[in-house]
Structure 1
């Protein structure tokens, strides 16, 4: 029964996740096992939580045992029995959850790996770097992929920190961010060329023009999953129960216009009157949900919605190829993280594609931020 408790826990404390079989005693000798198998309900009526309805004949079975580190074993059995962390219901629930997670994780294939790319910058004085554990949970739960981190001297894997770039939103800020992104993206491209990476999972939190640039520099040739930070749940996990929202686009008569504005209403609505005056005088192409759905923060709750959005963006870009006189597209986005990155990835890199500029929204207006194409080196 004790061995079964060790196996079900994966050798980790079920309360603090400490690995309990990792320390050697002064050399290459036997591994020191510092874990302790504790009773949830005391072995006798006089033991901790011993007044439970669980029959005494079943209290030494694995379902009543949990692997703990010495510190948590001591706390669970003395002095803190009134603490809700150590009630029978809490311990049983925590045991079920953690042991189920161990079983799930150890069932993942070592061949389905993904390289995790984390990017974070300043968004209205807020930064949000996804934690290594949180990214791992998302990749495993969503795509059944085991996370992999490219080795680096800092020990943080493939991470792009733009919070040190000064003056967010200013003219110099955009070029400085792209310069700061290039070394890590160069490492990623090298890993792909060398065969060390075949799949990338992207977790990013930055201003929209930076997200579009990230997608453009990743381009569409690599196998990439894009994750989104969902406001309502404060999670990077997609909601499989959320409905799929379809999108459409409408292109007005462009005639001989050489420029057009593209308004993407994915997580909000951009009114034409909000655009800079020169943009109101050129054709305006609108991407928006089908039917009566009004775009908002919860529109992109499901991954199916992102897929539907990417599909309509690809169809729009194919349609724009028929308007060969369009040399410059001005892009205005009310979109979540995932949609902004997806647009950058979908935009063609060939010379036939029109040049495009992504705009950044300030308090009262839009300002041009980054123009594409941009160098990938």
Structure 2
């Protein structure tokens, strides 16, 4: 019989359907159990009862039952499901307003009882629900009255197994035992509470509601845990650039970390390649002597962090990198850091350097639509079989003119490239210091660099790569991260001494070491 009935209605709609029967010359039968109702009609006593509606029988019904309508209404009460009862087999009686009102009071008592729920149980239930309705997909804020915005407690503590054996999902033995158990109670808004207890209690079984409750608690825990950002070790790679030493503190990093849903594990950042009062000249051997000394003093501790060692068996921590240094140093830093997961790069943005709010390191385009076609690749000159050396140009903040390449890499007499050459570039309208505006830009750049390295290593099989870079700091670190020990060629890093000048070699990075060629100084990459 339940399968033949219409969809369940709330109290107002239920009463509206009954009111429309005023003008029909039919008999009406209301079948109830302790908390919900089904309505049937027939034209003559010889006819079968036909379903009209089912759901919540509420106080709204009193306003639509006129004296005329009441004379055609019958009443029957059952112990089991009202929807499953056979109306033809029931003992029926004339409906009176006294009977109806008595039933309404009893139904409110059966489905709305909270006397068995102690204050401590209520607090625990509300805590697990975060004061949100636990019905699947509802999530109504039960601390705020939606129409008025008034604060308060607008919730119902709904029993999965009713606290009364006569209630929805009631049980002769379990109802009393589970009446004050947290696991048997879910927090609901008024609408959802009426739905599961009065409108369609046959559908909303204990098992179904228990599943909703479990998922709600799990979702609340998951979402609230996102408020606790994972900690990261903050590493600053900052140094003198053109005679200016950038200042950095943990307060510079925190806004960028928070915006990326991260937090500093320590209030003091670690410094890598930090050389106090050292004249910036990447073409001078003394400069690299200082860099290598700094690496040797910091490198062992950094390597322990990267390997996850020395932390009582704990896994490698997440690392946040804040880079602002020379191109060659950033390449070495990227090579040392590697390209494993859990490393977050942050790009300095010059236009907000003096921003007192500390947004200099915050990604400016994080919320903007990401382009997948920004970073391009082209081969200027293909390698002949047996070629052992090639050029890689990364032209992002500015285009690298071939004439700026040193002899051997470029033949000035013929105005042609002297070596096979691959270039990673952007269109002129995309060039500039802000072209890396979001982490997704770095990911896209990384994929393009991978393709360039694949050409150099796997297709051309060269053993030496002359590297020329015009790119933001994070892009340079990313390039360094790609120089890993797997069949790696030696990369000869180049920088120019002056604007628009010729690129000259600084250091050579192989799979095992960093070499400063003028003095022969070496920093071993393998501990």
- The residue aligned with 2:136 is none
What's the TM-score once normalised by structure 2's chain length? 0.47
Q: How far, CA to CA, are the matches of 1:123 and 1:167 in structure 2?
A: 6
Q: How far, CA to CA, are the matches of 1:219 and 1:107 in structure 2?
A: 28
5 Å matches for 1:19-34? none
2:377 paired with 1:249: yes
5 Å matches for 1:212-361? 212-234=331-353, 235-239=360-364, 240-242=366-368, 244=371, 246-251=374-379, 252-256=381-385, 257-280=387-410, 281-289=418-426, 293-350=429-486, 352-361=487-496
Three-state SS of the structure 2 residue aligned to 1:278 is: coil
Q: How far, CA to CA, are the matches of 2:276 and 2:448 in structure 1?
A: 33
Three-state SS of the structure 1 residue aligned to 2:453 is: helix
Q: Is the 8 A contact 2:322 2:345 kept in 1?
A: yes
Specify whether residues 325 and 175 from structure 1 end up closer, same or farther in structure 2 by C-alpha distance, changes over 3 A only. farther
2:284 paired with 1:148: no
1:266 Cα deviation from its structure 2 partner:
1.4
1:127 Cα deviation from its structure 2 partner:
1.6
- The residue aligned with 2:303 is 189
- The residue aligned with 1:159 is 271
- The residue aligned with 1:131 is 249
Specify whether residues 162 and 349 from structure 1 end up closer, same or farther in structure 2 by C-alpha distance, changes over 3 A only. same
1:355 Cα deviation from its structure 2 partner:
0.8
Q: Which has the larger radius of gyration?
A: 2
Q: Is the 8 A contact 2:241 2:280 kept in 1?
A: no
Three-state SS of the structure 2 residue aligned to 1:264 is: strand
1:129 Cα deviation from its structure 2 partner:
3.1
Three-state SS of the structure 2 residue aligned to 1:250 is: strand
- The residue aligned with 1:65 is none
Report Cα offsets for 1:53-100 as digits up to 9, x if no partner. xxxxxxxxxxxxxxxxxxxxxxxxxxxxxxxxxxxxxxxxxxxxxxxx
Q: Is the 8 A contact 2:493 2:505 kept in 1?
A: yes
Q: How far, CA to CA, are the matches of 1:197 and 1:348 in structure 2?
A: 19
Specify whether residues 201 and 106 from structure 1 end up closer, same or farther in structure 2 by C-alpha distance, changes over 3 A only. same
Give the counterpart of 2:509 among 364, 367, 372.
372
RMSD, aligned α-carbons: 2.5
Unaligned runs of 5+ in 2: 1-223, 354-359, 411-417, 514-523
1:228 Cα deviation from its structure 2 partner:
0.8
What's the TM-score once normalised by structure 1's chain length? 0.65
Specify whether residues 347 and 227 from structure 1 end up closer, same or farther in structure 2 by C-alpha distance, changes over 3 A only. same
1:341 Cα deviation from its structure 2 partner:
0.4
Q: How far, CA to CA, are the matches of 2:321 and 2:461 in structure 1?
A: 35
5 Å matches for 1:87-106? none
Report Cα offsets for 1:246-277 as digits up to 9, x if no partner. 21212231113211111101111101011112
Three-state SS of the structure 1 residue aligned to 2:302 is: helix
Three-state SS of the structure 2 residue aligned to 1:282 is: coil
- The residue aligned with 1:177 is 291
Q: Is the 8 A contact 1:120 1:163 kept in 2?
A: no
Q: How far, CA to CA, are the matches of 1:338 and 1:189 in structure 2?
A: 21
Give the counterpart of 1:109 among 204, 208, 228.
228
Report Cα offsets for 1:229-254 as digits up to 9, x if no partner. 11223311112245536212122311
1:353 Cα deviation from its structure 2 partner:
1.5
Provide the aligned length of Structure 1 versus Structure 2.
266
> Which protein, 1 or 2, shows the higher relative CO under an 8 Å CA cutoff with sep ≥ 6?
1
Q: How far, CA to CA, are the matches of 1:116 and 1:131 in structure 2?
A: 10
- Identify which range, 217-226 or 190-199, moves more after superposition: 190-199
